[in-house]
Amino acid sequence: MASAGEPTRLRRARRASPLVRRSDLLAATVSCLARLGPRGTTGREICRQAGVSHGLLRHYFRNPDNLLLETYEQLCEDMLAHLEGVASPFIDDPRDALHRYFVAVFSDEWASPEIIGAWMVFWQQARSREDFAAVSHAFNLRQRALLERLVSRLPVPLAGLPMDDAIALLSAVLDGLWIEYYLSDTRTPRARCIALCEAAARRLFAA
């Protein structure tokens, strides 16, 4: 394959800052998960997608599996940071804060097929793998706490339903609609998902 005249000049990617290259690989992993599913998401394929040689993966991560785990952690972190950032400034008007939370959950950025597809892979890993389960658990706690903070400020007290139950139900609605939206964004478009969330919140937190 080497051209005849030259002594095997290697085309080499521009040397990038370690942090950049790392996050390139993390992003490529999410993209791979969505495009090719868990089965097609191999270390080599991720590197192909990221435009680097397969040897480089090992330079930044212990192994492909570890890359997957770190991708999960990164995704959780980014998502929570975003959700918390969106809702917190409006905590004075709880209705508005909750609304913005719903919008964020179904935003292009966080409810894209890419993200949700990857998310499902992680859910599944969480069932059989200790380390993935730990990440999932931590995420759940933080997300639950955020939701609790949001609804605990609602002006209308919930009627005859323990707070815990109400939060669990709202959380379930969010997850369920998330999947529904994932499976077909035409059948259940974003606006409808958000409207349904609002409706659920009204039913759960008003007398």
State in angstroms the smallest separation of the CB of 4 from DNA: 15
The one segment of 16-24, 32-40, 45-53, 86-94 that binds its own copies by CB under 8 A:
32-40
| CA trace torsion 86, 89, 90, 94 (10° rounding) | 90
Extract the tokens encoding 76.
């959780």
Rounded alpha-carbon distances, angstroms, from residue 53 to 62, 86, 189? 16, 38, 40
CB distance 179 to 119 below 8 Å: no
Q: Which is nearer to DNA, 16 or 156 (CB)?
A: 16
Binds DNA by CB under 7 A, chosen from 28, 34, 43, 71: 43
126 binds its own copies (CB under 8 A): yes
45 binds DNA (CB under 7 A): yes
Extract the tokens encoding 35.
């495009």
117 binds DNA (CB under 7 A): no
| CA trace torsion 140, 142, 143, 145 (10° rounding) | 120
CB distance 11 to 32 below 8 Å: no
Binds its own copies by CB under 8 A, chosen from 22, 31, 38, 80: 38
Partner touching 199 among DNA, its own copies, none, CB below 5 to 8 Å by kind = its own copies
CB distance 91 to 101 below 8 Å: no
CB distance 204 to 166 below 8 Å: yes
The one segment of 8-16, 103-111, 114-122, 128-136 that binds DNA by CB under 7 A:
8-16
Handedness of CA 145, 70, 85, 33 (dihedral sign): negative
Measured in whole angstroms, the distance separating CA 98 from the mean position of its chain's CA atoms is 19
State in angstroms the smallest separation of the CB of 81 from its own copies: 22
Residues of this chain that bind its own copies (CB under 8 A): 34-39, 113, 117, 120-121, 123-128, 133, 136-137, 140, 161, 165, 168-169, 171-177, 179-180, 182-184, 188, 192, 195-196, 199-200, 203-204
Residues of this chain that bind DNA (CB under 7 A): 1, 7-16, 18, 21, 40, 42-45, 51-59, 63-65
